[in-house]
Amino acid sequence: MYEYIEERVMEVANYIIENGATVRQAATRFGISKSTVHKDMAERLRHIDPAAAAAVREVLQHNKDERHIRGGMATYRKYKGI
């Protein structure tokens, strides 16, 4: 794997872990696609740093478990005009 890819993977992983960020937030922050973030976190990270991969998986699972709440709140704010 190219060194710049490994660096990107670790930067994105650290950002997700430190901020509890979603895939979408990480993609926006680093200017890459959601697909790239997902591939980096799901496939590449486990070969580079298995411990970080476990931590990222935990954060992303937490985000996935709460996504229905965030979606509901977004709809609420949209129709309330907030």
What would the pLDDT profile of 28-42 be if each residue is shown by its tens digit?
A: 999 999 999 999 999
Q: What is the pLDDT of residue 71?
A: 84
Query: Mutual orientation of helices 50-80 and 3-19 as an angle, nearest 10°?
Result: 60
Geometric angle at alpha carbon 54, from 64 and 5, rounded to 5°:
95
Residue spans of alpha helices (H) in the chain: 3-19, 23-30, 34-39, 45-48, 50-80
Q: What is the pLDDT of residue 10?
A: 98
Please give the average pLDDT of every successive group of 10 residues along the chain, which has 82 residues. 94 98 97 98 97 97 90 89 77
pTM of the model: 0.85
**The dihedral formed by the CA atoms of 7, 22, 54 and 30, expressed in degrees to the nearest 10:** 0
Spans of all domains in the chain: 3-80
